[in-house]
């Protein structure tokens, strides 16, 4: 596609874009050019969430130039030359990083799929939020080069701008105790004026959302796939209810399915969008610990609710208290205090505000390892040759990731290929 | 009594002292003079535990001079002149402090009671440990001017020298959960070579002692009264069993009854004697939080076991985690790590090793207020005139303490006198 094709794309989707960028975003002098809107959507469409190379490239050249270059088939060298010209921007990606990025992004430049995705967004009445919009959740900008370029919203996008907000997360496999804690915490925080942010999952997340709705509060669910398809399927009705008064949000375009990587990146949005994060109940392998790691890495206040030491369902919370300096919170009042607490500590160099300190250990896999793990099957072995297009990674990077996954017991050789192994 | 009377006293009790200072203490060149032994016992006999004025006076003049002066009726001025001569010692008490101290100590100089107390110690086969003895628990010296001058031991005094040791404490009103935690923690620590230190009370303390005995471990109970009378009465058999393999210890002379003040001071010995302290289960008003406060003030590692946030029996532990930077510990292995953990942090200026930071809030009453509270009744009002001899305090100090107790709702006027009020 050439530059003309890109403008064609903007024209072709103009009708849908009008609906998608409706009232609630910006008007008049602050309005975003339609080509910039299309560019933002397109870059999100071709990349995986949290792609730091793309974030740095956009930081140097802006969304329109990057989308134009990608559509025009610029080689890595041309991107590199242009970032060198764009003086004043720091840390542009290297030619090698750009080449790897282009190898990931270009195979996804599917014009028809893109047009279908936008049409689908319009059909489900999704709205597009862009950085700088009145309803844009400013907290996600703290993700820097890993921040989303756009967010898709179903429901009331202004819910995202409500403050204060609290992320309440926890395990899918919740106990009766955990559900009791989630009901009380969520309702109590709503009573204190908080919007409740969570991941829409079974167990603790769903209970937190439901309790917020029951208390007539605002609640926001971040999804790991497109907002056109509510996931998990069993929460379709719940997510529909959330969208009637609050918002269901994703950085992934309509049509995108959730993957392991996307769940982990969705967690970073939950942590970044909320003023503080509380893990209500979590076993040691709960994905909510990943959200907690993101919150800690971002310097957001992090709370954990203790439980019986005899309950494996609370072991992850106890680990957060013990090893990650989470604050012990036992009721909504103490959770609400976290926000003030975090503000007071601003600039303090304690573990809570030391970016990266906590995630380094909680997040044992690299992005590459996660991507390979996403496409490995448990039964059918896949060869490296198959894994390269499936992951959008080079053969060398796939092999490196497989070696690390093998060492940690998450993947194993099987015949000519590789299979995933369940962690014990 | 004159100096001669003092030496008479040493002669009169020489038989008992021989038994009391038996093998296990020191022999030969390191032996303590009988008069020093009597002096140490005597000063403990006339004072309340943790008397800092006495500690500073002994630090300046030594036990024998202080005992001699007290028996000889020296006025405060004479003590002050002698401490001024004893150059090189820092922070001797002022003449005013000495006068108040003498007013506390002299009324208790009862020669017959003293002789009876020593006879009773010999009868129950109690042993006297003095600072510097092989079995003296060196940790208590960290209490500085509040350190005990002597310890009475029934059982195997060498138990006090065993390392590592762990204080396991908690509420008398233990839940089934708390008792389960105590059983596992104590046995698990015994398996890891720890001696278990506690307070011999009902509930968590008793369970920790019993579990240590069942695991064939060493366990030590610190009492708030003389070791001749095991308290609480319902634990007479348990304390007897503790004394057969471990030790039952007190700084109070035989015949001394436990009081509220003595319980609090006993707690400081538990915290100081052990390498680390863990609160296993405690409500917000549990005395074990006082032990935790002492541990924190001493810079000893402090652990707390979490429990359900729905259980008031765990609320004190959660408060320690939340406000006092206690380490979240969920099993014996993590408790054992506290000791290494504490050693690593040595010299670190975090809250755990900031003396006084924690006790300031946990310990809301001054020593004077505690003493007055100890002698106030709930029904019969006592006048200030009655309270002066009962407390060994001046009328001015009694009035000051009553004012503070009134303000905090712990005491109230009643007719011409004062009564104690139960905290709600």
Whether B328 and chain A come into contact, CB under 8 Å, resolves to: yes
List of chain B residues whose C-beta atoms are within 8 Å of the C-beta of residue A181 = 309-310
List of chain A residues whose C-beta atoms are within 8 Å of the C-beta of residue B178 = none
Whether A110 and chain B come into contact, CB under 8 Å, resolves to: no
Q: Which of B347, B321, B300 lies closest to A322, judged by CA?
A: B321
Confidence of residue A380 (pLDDT cuts 50, 70, 90): confident
List of chain B residues whose C-beta atoms are within 8 Å of the C-beta of residue A327 = 322
Confidence of residue A352 (pLDDT cuts 50, 70, 90): very low
Task: Determine the distance in angstroms separating the CA of B177 from the nearest CA of chain A, rounded to an integer.
Answer: 8
pLDDT score recorded for residue B30:
62
Evaluate if residue A237 carries a pLDDT over 70.
Answer: yes
pLDDT score recorded for residue B89:
60
Measured CA angle at A177 (ends A173, A179), to 5 deg: 60
Evaluate if residue B19 carries a pLDDT over 50.
Answer: yes
Confidence of residue B400 (pLDDT cuts 50, 70, 90): confident
Alpha helices in B215-331 (DSSP H): 236-245, 260-273, 288-297, 315-323
Rounded CA separation A170/A179 (Å): 10
Predicted confidence (pLDDT) per residue in B122-170, tens digit: 999 999 999 999 999 999 999 999 999 999 999 999 999 999 999 999 9
More confident site: A27 or A356: A27
Whether B309 and chain A come into contact, CB under 8 Å, resolves to: yes
Contact B314 A328 (CB under 8 A): no
**Enclosing H/E stretch for B170:** strand B165-170
DSSP B195: E
pLDDT score recorded for residue A19:
86
- CATH code, residues A129-360: 3.40.50.450
Task: Determine the distance in angstroms separating the CA of A327 from the nearest CA of chain B, rounded to an integer.
Answer: 6
Confidence of residue B345 (pLDDT cuts 50, 70, 90): very low
Predicted confidence (pLDDT) per residue in B250-294, tens digit: 999 999 999 999 999 999 999 999 999 999 999 999 999 999 999
Tokens linked to B191: 């398996």
DSSP B142: G
Contact A309 B330 (CB under 8 A): yes
Task: Determine the distance in angstroms separating the CA of A334 from the nearest CA of chain B, rounded to an integer.
Answer: 9
More confident site: B424 or A313: A313
Please count the residue pairs, one from chain A and one from chain B, whose beta carbons lie less than 8 angstroms apart: 57
Partner residue opposite B328 with nearest CB, options A308, A318, A330: A318
DSSP B382: B
State the residue for tokens 């011409």. B416
Whether A298 and chain B come into contact, CB under 8 Å, resolves to: no
User: What is the per-residue burial (b if ≥16 Cβ within 10 Å, else e) of A211-236?
Assistant: bbbebebbbbbbbbbbbbbbbeeebe
Evaluate if residue B225 carries a pLDDT over 50.
Answer: yes
More confident site: A396 or B424: A396
pLDDT score recorded for residue A3:
54
pLDDT score recorded for residue A26:
61
Rounded CA separation A117/A356 (Å): 35
More confident site: B56 or B33: B56
Average pLDDT over residues A231-260: 96
Contact A318 B308 (CB under 8 A): no
Contact A310 B334 (CB under 8 A): no
Tokens linked to B138: 């060196």
Evaluate if residue A50 carries a pLDDT over 80.
Answer: yes
Confidence of residue A25 (pLDDT cuts 50, 70, 90): low
pLDDT score recorded for residue B422:
61
Side by side, the strands of the sheet bearing B219-222 are B127-129, B151-155, B247-250, B219-222, B195-198, B165-170, B276-281, B302-304, B327-328
Q: Which of A197, A175, A310 lies closest to A247, judged by CA?
A: A197
Evaluate if residue B182 carries a pLDDT over 50.
Answer: yes
Q: Which of B267, B324, B280 lies closest to B306, judged by CA?
A: B280
Whether B321 and chain A come into contact, CB under 8 Å, resolves to: yes
Evaluate if residue A221 carries a pLDDT over 90.
Answer: yes
Domain A367-420, CATH 3.40.605.10 — does that match? no
More confident site: A276 or B23: A276
Evaluate if residue A399 carries a pLDDT over 90.
Answer: no
Which residue in A183, A279, A315, A322 has the most chain B C-beta atoms within 10 A of its own C-beta, making it the best mutation to test that interface?
A: A322
Task: Determine the distance in angstroms separating the CA of B55 from the nearest CA of chain A, rounded to an integer.
Answer: 38
pLDDT score recorded for residue B15:
86
Whether A282 and chain B come into contact, CB under 8 Å, resolves to: no
Evaluate if residue A89 carries a pLDDT over 70.
Answer: no
Evaluate if residue A47 carries a pLDDT over 90.
Answer: yes
Q: Which of B272, B232, B225, B271 lies closest to B249, judged by CA?
A: B225
Evaluate if residue B222 carries a pLDDT over 70.
Answer: yes
Rounded CA separation B418/B387 (Å): 9
DSSP A385: H
More confident site: B191 or A391: B191
pTM (2 d.p.): 0.79
B-chain residue closest to A330, CA distance = B309
pLDDT score recorded for residue B392:
76
List of chain B residues whose C-beta atoms are within 8 Å of the C-beta of residue A177 = 308, 310
Rounded CA separation A143/B410 (Å): 53
pLDDT score recorded for residue A387:
86
What are the boundaries of each domain within chain A?
A: 3-123, 129-360, 367-420
Contacts of A404 (CB under 8 A, 6+ apart): A365, A366, A369
Q: Which of A319, A172, A192 lies closest to A182, judged by CA?
A: A172
Whether B331 and chain A come into contact, CB under 8 Å, resolves to: yes
CA dihedral B262, B268, B270, B276 (to 10 degrees): 160
Contact A322 B328 (CB under 8 A): yes
- CATH code, residues B149-361: 3.40.50.450
List of chain A residues whose C-beta atoms are within 8 Å of the C-beta of residue B328 = 306, 318, 321-322, 328
Chain centroid, CA B95 distance in Å: 26
Evaluate if residue A375 carries a pLDDT over 90.
Answer: no
Q: Tell me what percent of the residues of chain B surpass a pLDDT of 70.
A: 88
Task: Determine the distance in angstroms separating the CA of A314 from the nearest CA of chain B, rounded to an integer.
Answer: 9
More confident site: B374 or A339: A339
In this structure, are strands B302-304 and B247-250 parallel, antiparallel, or unpaired?
A: unpaired
Whether B279 and chain A come into contact, CB under 8 Å, resolves to: no
Whether A123 and chain B come into contact, CB under 8 Å, resolves to: no
Evaluate if residue A353 carries a pLDDT over 50.
Answer: no
Whether B306 and chain A come into contact, CB under 8 Å, resolves to: yes
Whether B189 and chain A come into contact, CB under 8 Å, resolves to: no
What's the per-residue H, E or C state across A19-68?
A: HHCCCCCCCHHHCCCHHHHHHHHHHHHHCCCCCHHHHHHHHHHCHHHHHH
* Mean pLDDT score across all residues of chain A: 88
pLDDT score recorded for residue A96:
94
Confidence of residue A213 (pLDDT cuts 50, 70, 90): very high
Partner residue opposite A309 with nearest CB, options B306, B310, B327: B306
pLDDT score recorded for residue A341:
53
Partner residue opposite B307 with nearest CB, options A180, A308, A334: A308
Rounded CA separation B330/B199 (Å): 21
Confidence of residue B373 (pLDDT cuts 50, 70, 90): confident
List of chain A residues whose C-beta atoms are within 8 Å of the C-beta of residue B308 = 177, 306-308
Alpha helices in A305-366 (DSSP H): 315-323, 332-344, 357-362
Contact A306 B307 (CB under 8 A): yes
Predicted confidence (pLDDT) per residue in B68-108, tens digit: 999 999 999 999 999 988 766 668 999 999 999 999 999 99
More confident site: B108 or A376: B108
User: What is the per-residue burial (b if ≥16 Cβ within 10 Å, else e) of B151-184?
Assistant: bbbbbbbebbbbebbbbbbbbbbbbebbbbbbbb
User: Could you give phi then psi for residue B268, rounded to 5 degrees?
Assistant: -65, -35
Rounded CA separation A248/A227 (Å): 7
**Enclosing H/E stretch for A401:** helix A395-407
Whether A274 and chain B come into contact, CB under 8 Å, resolves to: no
Alpha-carbon distances, residue B360 vs B48, B167, B364 (angstroms): 21, 21, 7
Partner residue opposite B321 with nearest CB, options A309, A321, A331: A321
pLDDT score recorded for residue B389:
76
The ipTM (two decimal places) reads 0.76
Whether A331 and chain B come into contact, CB under 8 Å, resolves to: yes
Tokens linked to A216: 């007539």
CA dihedral sign of residues A333, A336, A340, A343: positive
Predicted confidence (pLDDT) per residue in B48-67, tens digit: 999 999 999 999 999 999 99
pLDDT score recorded for residue B424:
36
Task: Give the number of other Cβ atoms within 10 Å of residue B31's Cβ.
Answer: 12
Cβ proximity of B307 and A308 under 8 Å? yes
Alpha-carbon distances, residue B213 vs A185, A277, B210, B331, B348 (angstroms): 42, 44, 5, 19, 36
Evaluate if residue B352 carries a pLDDT over 60.
Answer: no
Cβ proximity of B358 and B350 under 8 Å? no
Whether A312 and chain B come into contact, CB under 8 Å, resolves to: no
Q: Which residues pair with B249 in a beta bridge?
A: B153, B222
Evaluate if residue A422 carries a pLDDT over 70.
Answer: no
Evaluate if residue B1 carries a pLDDT over 80.
Answer: no
Whether A307 and chain B come into contact, CB under 8 Å, resolves to: yes
Evaluate if residue B397 carries a pLDDT over 60.
Answer: yes
Confidence of residue A148 (pLDDT cuts 50, 70, 90): very high
The SS3 of residue A340 is: helix
Task: Determine the distance in angstroms separating the CA of B321 from the nearest CA of chain A, rounded to an integer.
Answer: 6
Q: Which of A281, A282, A299, A305 lies closest to A339, judged by CA?
A: A299
Lowest-pLDDT choice from A309-313, A419-423, B8-12, B209-213: A419-423
Confidence of residue A360 (pLDDT cuts 50, 70, 90): very low
Whether A180 and chain B come into contact, CB under 8 Å, resolves to: yes
More confident site: A6 or A79: A79
DSSP B247: E
Whether B417 and chain A come into contact, CB under 8 Å, resolves to: no
Confidence of residue A391 (pLDDT cuts 50, 70, 90): confident
Evaluate if residue A365 carries a pLDDT over 90.
Answer: no
pLDDT score recorded for residue B18:
85
Contact A322 B310 (CB under 8 A): no
Q: Tell me what percent of the residues of chain A surpass a pLDDT of 90.
A: 68
């Amino acid at each position: 596609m050439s530059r003309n094709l890109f403008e064609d794309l903007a024209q072709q989707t103009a009708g849908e874009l009008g609906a998608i960028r409706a009232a609630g975003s910006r008007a008049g002098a602050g309005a975003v050019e339609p080509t910039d809107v299309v560019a933002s959507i397109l870059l999100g469409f071709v990349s995986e969430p949290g792609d730091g190379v793309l974030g740095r490239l956009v930081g140097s050249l802006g969304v329109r130039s990057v989308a134009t270059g990608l559509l025009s088939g610029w080689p890595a060298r041309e991107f590199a030359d242009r970032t060198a010209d764009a003086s004043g921007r720091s840390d542009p990606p290297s030619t090698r990083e750009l080449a790897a990025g282009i190898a990931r992004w270009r195979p996804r430049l599917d014009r028809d799929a893109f047009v279908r995705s936008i049409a689908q967004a319009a059909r489900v009445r999704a709205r597009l939020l862009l950085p700088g919009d009145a309803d844009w959740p400013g907290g996600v900008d703290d993700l820097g080069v890993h921040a989303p370029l756009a967010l898709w919203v179903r429901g009331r996008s202004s819910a995202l701008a409500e403050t204060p907000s609290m992320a309440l997360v926890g395990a899918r496999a919740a106990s009766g105790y955990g559900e009791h804690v989630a009901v009380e915490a969520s309702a109590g925080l709503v009573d204190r004026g908080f919007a409740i942010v969570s991941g829409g999952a079974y167990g603790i997340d769903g209970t937190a959302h439901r309790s917020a709705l029951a208390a007539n509060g605002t609640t926001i669910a971040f999804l790991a796939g497109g907002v056109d398809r509510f996931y998990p399927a069993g929460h379709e009705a719940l997510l529909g209810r959330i969208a009637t008064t609050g918002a269901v949000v994703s950085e992934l375009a309509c049509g995108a399915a959730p993957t392991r990587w996307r769940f982990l990146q969705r967690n970073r949005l939950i942590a970044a969008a909320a003023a503080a994060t509380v893990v209500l109940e979590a076993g040691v392998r709960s994905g909510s610990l990943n959200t907690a790691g993101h919150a800690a890495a971002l310097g957001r206040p992090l709370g954990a609710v203790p439980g019986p030491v005899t309950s494996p369902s609370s072991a992850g919370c106890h680990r957060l208290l013990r090893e990650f300096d989470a604050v012990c919170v036992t009721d909504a009042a103490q959770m609400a205090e976290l926000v003030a607490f975090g503000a007071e500590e601003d600039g303090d160099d304690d573990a809570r505000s030391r970016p990266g300190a906590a995630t380094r250990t909680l997040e044992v896999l690299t992005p590459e390892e996660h991507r390979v793990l996403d496409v490995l099957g448990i039964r059918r072995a896949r060869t490296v040759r198959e894994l390269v297009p499936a992951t959008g990674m080079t053969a060398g990077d796939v092999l490196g990731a497989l070696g690390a996954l093998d060492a940690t017991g998450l993947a194993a050789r099987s015949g000519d290929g590789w299979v995933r192994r369940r962690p014990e």
